[in-house]
Amino acid sequence: MSGMAMVVPTEPLYMALNSVKKLRTSMGDLHKLLSNGIRAEHAEGNEAKFAQEIQDHINRINRFYRDLEQATNNLVPPPGPFTLGNTASLCQESTQDKQALYKQLVQSFKWTDKVHEYSIVAGSLLSHNTLKRSYTNSSSAKRRRIQPSSHNVPPQAVDNVILNIDRLFPNMTMVIARPFASNAVLTVTLGRVLQAVIAFKGLMIEWVMIKGFGEQLDLWTESRHKVFRKVTENAHAAMLHFYSPTLPDLAVRSFMTWFHSYITLFSDPCRRCSNHLHNSLPPTWRDFRSLDPFHEECKQ
Ligand SMILES: [Zn+2]
């Protein structure tokens, strides 16, 4: 519980505990020796040897005892009582099943400590991340005003961009719906290969879910087929890759062009190994620039 721990040097404490351990062990050894009594090797005039063994043990105990004394002298008593806060009341708990709470409490303290530690690391890593897509944590309101927003685009403009893309690809059909207020949710059918749901926020692609034919189309459940789960994962990477706050319509067009290349998901061989299947999967990756198909393991 480092949150409330006082700074106590642990080295002397460790040494003191260690000397307690040594003392207890040597004491145990002496008792064992005494309870075993004189053994065959000590018989016939060898009693002196037994006495010597006992003497050795006692000497060792004396030495360890001195060590312990020294170690405890080195200990600094804590400056005040430990403040356990409300947890101190736990010892007054009389219900049987609640008495184990303290252990769980310590566990959760450790856990929150770790979460705190990890979130600091994650926070510093993410602050260097250039894939930041929203301006909610923008440092100044002024900056927010200047930046072109791909979030607040009128529905009609979004429809126009999508319809223009629809015209480019005859074997890809798109249906626009608006189940969540003004933001568009696009249902895309790519030939007889796959289906996708694409959620927009203004002109920004917010989420993609890819499914096979016959699967229920929604935004949150993953496909039961590994191949479509893999393509979904890659689509998420693509959605971030093509994102552009300054040219949102181009970003959508680039993404849809990339997405359209999956029309050959089950027919094109891998550009690298020239095989159709690798680990029982077709080439599920498409290069962002060339749109070349690659297996997951074959891309660089
Ligand atoms: Zn390959």
pLDDT digits (tens, 9 = 90+) for 241-299: 999 888 999 999 999 999 999 999 999 999 999 999 999 999 999 999 999 999 999 98
Segment 20-49, tens digit of pLDDT: 999 999 999 999 988 888 777 766 677 788
Cα of 53 from ligand 1 centre, angstroms = 74
Segment 186-231, tens digit of pLDDT: 999 999 999 999 999 999 999 999 999 999 999 999 999 999 999 9
Cα of 298 from ligand 1 centre, angstroms = 5
- Model confidence at 175: pLDDT above 80: yes
- Model confidence at 178: pLDDT above 60: yes
Local confidence band at 121 (pLDDT 50, 70, 90 cut-offs): very high
Residue-averaged pLDDT of the chain: 85
Cα of 230 from ligand 1 centre, angstroms = 15
Q: Is 11 helix (H, G, I), strand (E, B) or coil?
A: helix
Longest Cα–Cα distance in the chain: 111
The tokens describing 88, both together, are 């101190």
Which of 22-31, 111-120, 127-136 shows the lowest mean pLDDT across its residues? Answer: 127-136
**Average pLDDT rounded to a whole number, residues 136-141:** 48
- Model confidence at 61: pLDDT above 90: yes
Tell me the backbone φ, ψ of residue 278, rounded to 5 degrees: -145, 125
- Report yes or no: 65 and 22 within 8 Å, Cβ to Cβ: no
Cα of 295 from ligand 1 centre, angstroms = 4
The per-type count for the chain, helices as H runs and strands as E runs, is: 7, 6
Segment 71-101, tens digit of pLDDT: 888 888 777 766 777 777 776 767 777 777 7
The tokens describing 164, both together, are 């223009």
Cα of 244 from ligand 1 centre, angstroms = 30
Cα of 55 from ligand 1 centre, angstroms = 77
Give the pLDDT of residue 82.
Answer: 66
CA distance 202 to 182: 8
- Model confidence at 7: pLDDT above 70: no
Cα of 279 from ligand 1 centre, angstroms = 10
DSSP assignment of 178-192 equals: EEETTEEEEEEEETT
Cα of 287 from ligand 1 centre, angstroms = 13
Q: Give the residue with greater pLDDT, 129 vs 197.
A: 197
Give the pLDDT of residue 51.
Answer: 86
DSSP assignment of 113-154 equals: HHHHHHHHHHHHHHTT-TT----TT-S-HHHHHHSPPSSS--
CA distance 54 to 191: 91
- Model confidence at 138: pLDDT above 90: no
- Model confidence at 6: pLDDT above 90: no
Cα of 274 from ligand 1 centre, angstroms = 6
CB contact burial 176-201 (16+ within 10 A = b; e otherwise): eeeeeeebbbbebbbeebbbbbbbbb
Nearest-5° angle of CA 25, CA 26, CA 28? 65
Give the pLDDT of residue 142.
Answer: 47
Give the pLDDT of residue 13.
Answer: 85
The tokens describing 111, both together, are 């856990």
Give the pLDDT of residue 2.
Answer: 42
- Report yes or no: 228 and 281 within 8 Å, Cβ to Cβ: no
Cα of 171 from ligand 1 centre, angstroms = 26
Question: By C-alpha distance, which of 155, 159, 179 is closest to 167?
Answer: 159
- Model confidence at 135: pLDDT above 60: no
